[in-house]
Structure formats: C-alpha cells, structure tokens
Amino acid sequence: EDLAAAMGDPALRVLDARATLADPAAGRAAHAASHLPGAVHADLDRDLSDHSVRGQGRHPLPDAVAFARRVGEWGIGPAQQVVVYDAGDGSMAAARAWWLLRLLGHERVAVLDGGLAAWRAAGRAETADAAPTVPLPPYPSAGFDGSRIAGAAEVASRLGVNVVDVKPAQS
C-alpha cells in the first residue's frame, strides 16, 4: 500500500531484481514483458555481480566504482527512496540489491514486502513500458563498507559450527 501510494513521486526509484539461476536471461525478459510502473531492471549477473572475479563464489561482488556508476545510471542518488522487488518474497536478488546499495552507503532502500506476487495479488498495475530514467552522476561513495561483509570464517566463528562449501568448483 505504501509503495502504491508513492508511485509517481520523483524521489522514488523502483528496481526489478527478478532473476532465475537456471536462465540468466529470464529476469530481463520478464521485466520487458511486465513490471511495476517506473521500475528499471537490476540484473543479477550484469549489475549485481562481477563474473570476472574468480574464487569468490557464484556471484562475486561487483566492483564498487562500477556499481556506483550503475546506480547513478538508474537515477539513484542519496535523496532517492529505493524499493527493490523480485519474483519471490524478496529474499533472493532483491535482498542482494538492497544489501549492495547499503554497502555503497545508501540508507533509503527497502524490499517490497511479498515481492511481485503480493503486488499482483493486490491487483496493482503493471506495465511493459520502459521507465523514463534521468541518469545521475555515479553514486557518491567511498566504496563498499567492508564492515557489512562477513567471510565464511567469521560466520563459522559466530555460529560455532563448521561451514562447508558444497558448490561445484568454478571453471
């Protein structure tokens, strides 16, 4: 309800972070077919990750400077309220976009409660129209806040358990 009421506010930016791990093009295709009015697509592989980095998991963090530039291209500056959604409940790519924006220093960011499914269940409007975006300069940031990043060893020590990575090795 809050997001629906804020639609059209020039200080609002909406990011569609839909992604499918099995089909990297599916999120962008779904966005092109239909999305929340004014939403731009934040691609998990192209915008929210840097696949040139090896040995850092399936979706390594993007370069902070490149991400700050992309955030500016989306029309996001420190004054904008950002709402991110995905096709699930927001715990996947939307949560990653939220976290990356927070790492960059952007405080005014939220994940849409219930994601796209809740928006649709409420009968809210969608569109296939491209969002008119006024690009801004790169987001002003000193880079990612490393204090908001925990490595496997830190997680294991805090939980008092062993963490085992069972993903296949990257090629």
Strands of the 12-16 sheet, one edge to the other: 39-41, 12-16, 81-85, 109-111
Prediction pTM value? 0.85
pLDDT tens, position by position, for the chain (171 residues)?
Answer: 999 999 989 999 999 999 988 898 999 999 999 999 999 999 999 999 975 667 666 677 899 999 999 999 999 999 999 999 999 866 789 999 999 999 999 999 999 999 999 999 999 999 999 988 889 999 999 898 888 887 777 877 888 777 677 766 654
The pLDDT assigned to 164 comes to: 74
